[in-house]
Amino acid sequence: MPTRLESNRRRNAAVFPASEVRIEVSIDRLSKSGEGVGKHQGRSLFVDGALPGERVLVEVEAAGKLLRGRLLEVRAPSPDRRPSSCALSERCGGCDWLHLREPAQREAKLEIILSALEHLAGIARTELAVLPSRRCERQMGYRRRAVMQLRGGRLCFHGRRSHDCVPIQSCPAMVPRLSELLGPLGSKLAKLERDAKAVHLLSAGDEASFAVLLASPVRPAQLEICARAVRDLRLRGAVLVPPEGRPQIIGDPTLPDAAEQGSAPLLMRPDAFAQANAEANAALRRSVVERLAARPRERILELYCGNGNLTFAIAAAGAEVVAVDSAASSLELARRCAGSASGRIRFVQGEAIRVAEALAAEGPRFDALVVDPPRKGAPAIGSLPERLGCSRVVYVSCDPAALARDARQLRETGFEPIALQLIDMFPQTRHAEALMSFARQGSL
């Protein structure tokens, strides 16, 4: 039976003459998935590892409706190309833009977002203020959080554009405490491989903890393995997360996260979401507060609040915040942090859009809406801000296409785009964090 690669090559041979399987092509732009994009026979050709302005030799491979080119040689390199600083960069899917200089990375990310808004939302770049991007001083060694696989007693990242597992002994993108932990922790957890769906790592300063997401209920032997790893590696703690029921805690896996001046201190745990880049996350909080411009006693509805990452910074201005999230572990951390701000913050557990729909039906009115959804966005946001009485919306996104789709909905229901800002949360990768603000027509 032919392998998938052999089948692709036979299909390519039928689609392309033998002389055209290998072609030279000019790269025009970067796609939202980080690949270089050129043209071949009137169709877009996606080439992983190629950069705009380059002339490259590729082997053309049909992949469903898409054409992909396997990069064979860069014949005319971009001035923004550089040697990768990681020996695993061609295999590991963690950092896909190590070959691109950082200023060009930020320009490319902003262009991808603006292009998505133009083509998917009908919002021209001239219709809103594009604010200066916020970058980090630390461009490597910044990742304080990682989601990894456990294979053969080693912690792994998924491969470059594949689900293959690439063992990682150390990682220059991680903060030193996590990078040095990879080899020893993988060995300690080796016997959990059959049951572990993923291993989450988290660090703050010199402290670290981990979580194991399990495919079955927690067993005593699993608890003992993790407890030994915590003890031997001098970690703060661990969390075992079964498919159903409460997580099992070992030690104290909760770690502190720096908050803005005047805000409550934040808490993180490896089984709850936290932004991977502490410096960029602080910049994100500042940008949200600036764009929201909340005044004392204003009522703010925040959807997808997580552990209160934005909540407390918003409440520090004196605003009253109703903060909604579906994750019990995140809200538990947020409530522990409330302290003196508890009178101005009400946390609600539930699916964010459903809770907002219920609030709109009950009639409470809010001055503004803050939305920080997962990658899929908030596809049912629709007329919610208008029905809630909001005059403005601040939307945080980690996916340009989802941002564009939801921005289109907001505009169609009377909210005009005001400003866009890139937060460079993920240097060396194609991933882009953006903040976009809207105002209801006639409210400015």
- Mind listing the pLDDT tens digit for each residue in 270-281? 999 999 999 999
105-137+277-440 and 145-255: identical CATH topology:
no
- Mind listing the pLDDT tens digit for each residue in 104-134? 999 999 999 999 999 999 999 999 999 999 9
pLDDT of residue 222 exceeding 60, the answer is: yes
Q: Where are the chain's structural domains? A: 4-76, 105-137+277-440, 145-255
Predicted local distance difference test score (pLDDT) of residue 66: 83
Predicted local distance difference test score (pLDDT) of residue 353: 96
Whole-model pTM over 0.75: yes
CA distance 387 to 218: 44
- Is 1.10.3720.10 the CATH classification of the domain at 4-76? no
Report whether 334 contacts 311 (CB < 8 A): yes
Supply the DSSP symbol for 132.
Answer: P
Predicted local distance difference test score (pLDDT) of residue 7: 45
Q: Is 124 exposed, middle or buried (0-12, 13-18, 19+ CB in 10 A)?
A: exposed
Nearest 5°: phi and psi at 71? -70, 125
Distances (CA, A) of 63 to 8, 11, 12, 60, 160: 8, 10, 10, 10, 16
HEC states along 185-199?
HHHHCHHHCCCEEEE
- Mind listing the pLDDT tens digit for each residue in 164-200? 999 999 999 999 999 999 999 999 999 999 999 999 9
Tokens of 69: 């080119």
CA distance 95 to 101: 13
Region at 332 (left for phi over 0; alpha for psi -120 to 50; beta for the rest):
alpha
Q: The domain 145-255: what is its CATH number?
A: 2.40.50.1070
- Mind listing the pLDDT tens digit for each residue in 344-398? 899 999 999 999 999 999 987 999 999 999 999 999 998 999 999 999 999 999 9
Q: The domain 105-137+277-440: what is its CATH number?
A: 3.40.50.150
Longest dimension (CA), the chain: 72
